[in-house]
Structure formats: C-alpha cells, structure tokens
Chain A
Amino acid sequence: MIRRVTMRVFWRRHARRFMLPAGGLVITGLMLLPIYFTAETSFEPTSALQALSQSLVPSHFIFSNYRVAFDVEHGSIITSLLIALGAVVLSIGVALPASYGLTKLGYLQSRAIVSVAIMVLLVTQMVPGISLTLAFYKLFLHFHLLNSIAGLILADSTTGMPFATLVLRAYMGSIPVELSDAAYVDGASEWRTFRSVVAPLAVPAIITAGLFVFLFAWGDFLYAYTLTAGGNVTPLTKGLLSFFANNTVNWGPVLATVVLAAVPSGLILSFGQRYVMGGLRAGALKG
C-alpha cells in the first residue's frame, strides 16, 4: 500500500520530466517522417523498384543524386532565386511606404480610409490565384511578359505585397508616434522622417515580411506553371514537376531536388525562427 502511494508520488513528480518530452518527440517524429525519409533516401543509391528505403540510416552515403539534380536544375534554381529576390524588392518597395502612409493617415483624420485600405488588403489575400491568372495570361501575352522573370515577379507579388503591407503596418503602429513627430518638429520632411526614423526602426518587421515574401515566391507553382507555358524560363517548382514526371527510372535525383527546393525553408527556420513565428501570428491575427 505504502509502496503504491510512493510509486504514485514518484510517477506524478517525474512523469512530466520524461513522458512529456518523449511524447513530444513521437509527435514531431511522425510529422517529420516523410521529410526524414526524403532527405535520407536522397543520399542513397536508388532505383524505381525501391522507391523510398525503409531504413533509418543510409546504407551507402553518396552525393551522386545531388550531382544529377544540380546538372538538371541549376538553371531553375537561379531563375527561382531571381524571381524570389525580385518579388521581395518589389513587394517591400511598395509595401514599406504604403504602410508608413497608412499608419500616419490613421493618426490624422482619415481613419475610415485606413480601415477601408486594410480591409481591401485583407480581401486581396483571399482572392484565389487561379481567378487572377486567366487575366494575367492575356495581359502578359499582350505586354510580352509571358515566359519572363519580370512577369513572374509581378505575379508573385500578388501574394507578397498585401501580406507585407499588413505585417509592416501592424508593426509601425507599435512604434511610438512621438519619435516621428519629434523629427517632424525638427523640420524633417515626411520623406525624411520615413527614411531616417521610421524605416530603420521597422527593420525587424521588414525582415519578417521579406522572408515570407521570399518563401511565397520561391514556392509559387501556380503562376510558374501557367505563365511560362512552353518557354525557357523554368522556376524550380515547375522544374521539379517535369523532372518528377519524366523520371520514372530513378527517384534519387528527384528527391535530391526536393531537398534543394526545401533549402530556403530550412535556412529560414534555423536563422529566422523568431521572425517566422512573428510573421505567422501578425499576418493571421493582427491584420
């Protein structure tokens, strides 16, 4: 009897210490299992018969899958990088002054206008890309933007620009008004106040917004697929699809390409964790 009680006390005290982390590991492991198998198999010699090895550790550790993947996809990787960076520059370039303008207009007597603007931005995030891309196709055809990096930068910013504006505006609202007002009193112009006071203070939000815009554009498939038909501009997402569809002999290089396509997400997660979490919440909840 006594023993059972002491056991229970022991259990209660230490269960938390051991069971909770163990359960957490199991949950995370199950969620990440597909990714683990992908990464693991990409370092193994593979054939179509053995599509994904069930072993947890590679039997032979090789890099040849990556060599093949690089040979096939290096052009796509560069294309995707250019598009994603271009989308970051365009989206932030438009969103940063806009969020400053909206924040300041909110302090003047224009709050209704600001509310409407924010509502519009929220709504644009809800517009399905497929509804836009039909018109984009015709427009881009007319302006010779099909199959061009510039065209994809413009199209990809439809996801990035509204999101960046909302994140930046939410952040700028938390910067004390007194700071920019002090600059204004000292005779700084609106542009000067923006450039030298508010924009530098908003750097954390700029990083958050920039990371997300980069990820959106890097991972975009819809516009890459519809606005480059038959051309030689092939972003990595589209390149991965055709590589996968044409390669039924050996999955190894395809899986290596998957890993390459996921590199930015991994980098951002390891170095920009704080910004990612902040952005996730700001974009979804604060509006």
Chain B
Amino acid sequence: MPYLPNTEDNQREMLAKIGVESLEELFNDVPARYRFPELKLPAAVSEMEVLNELYALALKNSSTGCFATFLGAGAYNHFVPSAIPYLASRGEFLTAYTPYQPEVSQGTLQAIFEYQSMIAEITGMEVVNASHYDGATSMAEAAIMAINVSNGKRKKILVSPSVHPQYRQVLRSYIPGEQVIITGDEDLNTGLGDLKAMLDKDTACLIVQNPNFFGDLLEVDELADSVHAAGALLVVVAVPVMSLGLLKPPGEYGADIVVAEGQPFGGGLNFGGPYLGIFAAREQFVRKMPGRLVGETTDQEGRRGYVLTLSTREQHIRREKATSNICTNQGLLALMAAMYLGYMGKSGLRAVAEQCYHKAHYAAEQIGKLDGFRVINSGPFFNEFTVQCPKPVPEINEALLKKGILGGYDLEQDYPLAKNQMLLCVTEMNTRKQIDWLVETLKSI
C-alpha cells in the first residue's frame, strides 16, 4: 500500500500497546450490519500506470497549447513566469495548513501580508482579505457584506446586466429566498443611468463590472456619488483584473468594495479552478468583512511579525454570528498572485496590460474591416470586445477550431438579443501572426 509506513510487526506491537487483538476490534462502535462494506472500485495501480492513464485522458483534450486562444469571459490565458510555480510548489508553502500557529507560519503570513498590500495598491483600496474561492463567490460575499453594513436594514441588491452571467447566477444561489431582492439585470438593456434611477433607501449596494462583460470601460464619473447619495455601497467587479495594470483603480472613483478574479496573476487556466477570489474594501468596513486578514505586530522581543487578526468576525470564534462561513480559502493562489505581482513589478504589470490593450485593439481594427463583421463596442475597451458576426457563433467557432483557433464566447447563450455576437479576448500570449491568422480565417468563413 502506498504511503503507509506501518509494517505487520509495527501493527502487532501497536495493537498490543492499545490492548486489542486485531484492527477490526477498533471499529466495534460501527453498527455491525454496515461495517466493512465492499467498495466496488477498480484495483490499485502503480505510479507509472496511473500517469499513463492520465496521459491518455490528456490526449482526449485539446489544450490551449494546441490553439491560438481568443477565449476569455472570466478565465484568461496569460504567461506564468517559471519562477512562480517553482517557488509556490516548495513543500513548506504547499504542505502547510492555515497559519494558526504564527511562530511556525511566518512565511505564509508575511506572503499574505504582501499579497494584501499589493492588491490594495492595484485596486486603490485600503484593506484586502486573504482570498475567497473565486471572483464570483467574492462578489456574492460582497453583496452579503453590503447588507450587513446596513445592519440588515437594506434588502435590495442592484446588479448590472453586464456583470458576468455566471457571477450573477452565483449571487442568486448565495442569497436565496424572498427576504433580499436581487434586481437590475432583468432587462438586458438596462444601462448605468437606469441603474442609478433604481437606487433607493432600501438599496444595499450597486454591483457593476468594469470593464463590463462585453468589454466596455464604464463611464464612472459621479457613479459613486449617486450610489453614496442613496446611502448604498458601490461594488466594482474588476474582471479582467489585468486591466488594473493600466486603468484607474476602482478606489480612485469611489468604490466601497472591489472584487476580482485573480487567476490571471500567475494561476493557469486549469479548466476553471482553483482560481482566486480577490476581495478589497474601505477600511471603515473592516469589521464587517468576511474572510481572513493578516496583520502586522511584534513579538516579545519587539521583532516585527505577522498574525491572523480580527478573527472575532470569523466562524471558528463567532459561529452563527460570523460575517461568513468561509474557512479554507485559496491561500496558495493568493501566494502565487503576490509572487506574480512582485515578479512583474511596477513596470512589468503595466507592460503586460499595455500589450493586452494594443494587441486587442489591433485585432479589433482588423476584424472590423472584414465584410459581415462589426465591432460593437462604441467606446473604449481593454482587451475584450464584442463582434457582430454574419453567422451563429458556434458555427464560426467550429470552423476556427479546424484551423487551430479557439474562438470567442457566444454571448447569445446568456443574452438572447446578442444574436451572432462573439466576445473575443486578446492577451500578451497572442502574437501578431496568430491575430492575422484569426482575421484571415474569419474572412474565409
């Protein structure tokens, strides 16, 4: 049996010390008729065999390595510098638990403190927690926090229809029932002006995505003023998060809570997980925040050190009165994001974001010139944009796949009016050659 050190001699000695005759005797408390069921699972295989099975499964996939990838919509194909997985897979990081014993967890604690600091900088916010499961669950927890900030008095969540459709689904699953009203996204044409008009004294928060799901950059001037005038909070979903390397941070235009999907910062695509839920807020709300926080302090000799702090908000202390039930989060992904931001640094993050911007605009310009195709975004965008196509998107994507191209997201799946509209994403990973190949292939369709 793999990984089990006890020999038969060991087992005999140990059973003798315990004072029982057999292993079976240890399980006498289990009802006899259900004890020791036969598990109908395939017999064990060796390491070599299991790897061969997995390689065979991998061959049934077409990975993004096989394609020129232009698919985004919440999961992004970015370069991961080699040093990051190398360091993040060190056993001391990988095989440690949540840092409950700070004296032997300073590595994890300081790394999370650095993560909190870097995310605060790029979002323009003051406090950042140690992570949620992904961007969607961060957003749902932000809505719950907004209700809690009003001490439960405000029971309306306004959400823009141009927030990622899956994020809005998660929001509704997280807050079931009649007590809280989630509204604003029923009519898919509802714009920012309409949402502002829906703000009232019952509104806990307005949730917008910037850049929005179609790629547009929002006109955020005075948005926060309107929200605050109604006594509500402004929640900004900063997806794709790489845009923060170039664009004004949400803190600068008045956001109260910023959430994002941190996967682009050093996490791979991994078929959708594990990803990283970024959660940042204004300092005044810190005691209503969900999740773990790391704070700086000193030890008995006055040396600087880090601890988990303000944990009276959390489930292991506060039980049913906690701000959230979250316990295990995405610690390793937060570490990797901190590493990515530290490695790319001041100029590198900006450089990646600029490349995404320029390449996407080059692609949009070329596609816009094709007969039958039209770029719908009328204002500025970052690295995703919506294209009106002459044929149904699945049909186009099948044709692209045959030419080695992973095409864009079919918006009609979520927005029935977006007939034949495709959301395309371009990152620093897409070479000019790939973009030209995409344009040429679209032309031939």
State yes or no: do A and B come from one complex: no
User: Which residues of A line the B interface, CB within 8 A?
Assistant: none
User: Which residues of B line the A interface, CB within 8 A?
Assistant: none
